[in-house]
Amino acid sequence: MYGHQSTRLLPDDFPQFFERAKGAYIWDLSGGRYLDLMCAYGPNLLGYGHETVDRAYIRQLESGDTMTGPSKIMVELAESLVELVSHADWAMFCKNGTDATTMAIMTARACTGRSMIIRAKGAYHGAAPWCNPNILGATAGDRADQIVCNYNDVASLEAAVELAGRNLAAILAAPFRHDVFVDQAPPNPTYAKRARELCDETGALLIVDEVRAGLRVARDSSWASLRVSPDLSCWGKCIANGHPISALVGSDKAREAAASIYVTGSFWFSAAAMAASVETLRIVRTSDYLERIQDLGDRLRRGLNAAATSHNIRLRQTGPSQMPLFLFDDDPELRQGFFWSSQMIQRGVYVHPWHNMFLCAAMTEADIDMAIDAADGAFNALRLHSGVLPAVKQLKRPSELRSTSEGKSVEH
């Protein structure tokens, strides 16, 4: 098993295969049922097997899906997305989040006639050779035109811009720090604003990669609340509630450049996932899904804090509460994280020891309370075993998945 759904880097008792998914739950091949705090690593926003979204998919499939041209639903979807995302004047659709981020840097390079991209060290922007966290199989050329800075560190961003000189095509940023293995962090407003200013000063484009966070933290680009408008933003995962589609949207400034590059894919014009996305975005616009997952996230965070404290365990919960990451203090080898996650899965709650999680709108307060109960038991077990936690053989080192070569670094 390869990629982000491999259990190779998870505790041994994590099931690799699943039989069924419905609402907030997944079932493994032995019938074990789990409250799923991973939500398919993001795509499950409204609940697995969502009735009206899946019905929209099937209805479109029955009239036409992958055809010799797109359906008119493509225009409807583009209009929905442009209406939702305040900086967007146009939209292009693709399949993978990586397609969207790759199209974004191509658009920026075509727009500026320059090549250099600045991105933050440790940030995940996909699994193509230019951005893959594991450089095996990539060439030096794939990453030659990149500079890495430190997220939220204005001085390091400015140094990177200085280093890029007149060759800066784009600053590519995650909406908040959601790297693996380290605490999540909200965007420093000064950093976000400075990124916008530096792009304006140099003529480079600002790209925000919303693939992981989009629609879970806002009904708009994540930096809209900071009053920072990117030129391009990348969307994927949950924009069709699990059906395969991703998107690049942009402002008029980037329109001509986006139209000039040649990007395509066999299934990029398939209509069924677009119909599912139109319905997902309708629910996003008209329901309180966002407030509900925020409330559920807050409830979970409070409950876990109380349970951890009662067992004298220091748990760090970071990131937006609806996209939480749990790390334990004094746990450099993740022994506590792996043991506790294993205890949770045994209690019917799927959590992740080093990747951020995701809440969905199909969860209820009762589900969250059940997770808190499970956590209480897992914390208790952790306390009882604290002196004798097994080593985590899955991870040679926690940095295993971090990039060992991300282009030029301003720290060098």
Query: Binders of its own copies among 75-134, rule CB under 8 A?
Result: 75, 92, 95-99, 102, 105-107, 109-110, 115, 127-130, 132-134
Rounded Cα distance, 74 and 79, in Å: 9
Please say which residue, 160 or 308, places its beta carbon nearer to its own copies: 160
Interface with its own copies, residue 170, by CB under 8 A: no
φ, ψ (nearest 5 deg) of residue 307: -65, -45
Rounded Cα distance, 44 and 337, in Å: 24
In the complex, minimum distance from the CB of residue 155 to its own copies, in angstroms, rounded to a whole number: 27
Rounded Cα distance, 258 and 254, in Å: 6
Q: DSSP class of residue 23?
A: B
- In the region spanning residues 134 to 153, those forming contacts with its own copies, defined by CB under 8 A, are 134, 136-145
In the complex, minimum distance from the CB of residue 242 to its own copies, in angstroms, rounded to a whole number: 4
CA distances in angstroms from 371 to 40, 56, 145, 379, listed in the order given: 18, 32, 45, 12
Q: Candidates 54-62, 175-183, 201-209, 300-308 — which segment interacts with its own copies by CB under 8 A?
A: 54-62
Beta strands in 313-366 (DSSP E): 315-318, 325-328, 349-350
Interface with its own copies, residue 203, by CB under 8 A: no
Choose, by CB under 8 A, the member of 4, 255, 302, 385 that binds its own copies: 4
Q: Candidates 174-182, 224-232, 238-246, 315-323 — which segment interacts with its own copies by CB under 8 A?
A: 238-246
The first and second tokens of residue 1, run together, are 């098993």
- In the region spanning residues 244 to 273, those forming contacts with its own copies, defined by CB under 8 A, are 244, 246, 257-270, 273
Interface with its own copies, residue 23, by CB under 8 A: no
Binding residue count for its own copies, defined by CB under 8 A: 98
CA distances in angstroms from 290 to 80, 215, 297, listed in the order given: 18, 8, 10
In the complex, minimum distance from the CB of residue 17 to its own copies, in angstroms, rounded to a whole number: 5
Please say which residue, 117 or 308, places its beta carbon nearer to its own copies: 117
Task: Characterize the bridge pairing of strands 246-250 and 232-235.
Answer: antiparallel
- In the region spanning residues 272 to 311, those forming contacts with its own copies, defined by CB under 8 A, are 273
Dihedral of the alpha carbons of 241, 245, 246, 248, in degrees to the nearest 10: -120
- In the region spanning residues 55 to 74, those forming contacts with its own copies, defined by CB under 8 A, are 57-58, 61-72, 74
Choose, by CB under 8 A, the member of 23, 236, 319, 320 that binds its own copies: 236
Q: Rounded to the nearest 10 degrees, what angle do helices 271-286 and 51-63 cross at?
A: 150
In the complex, minimum distance from the CB of residue 94 to its own copies, in angstroms, rounded to a whole number: 8
Rounded Cα distance, 205 and 111, in Å: 8
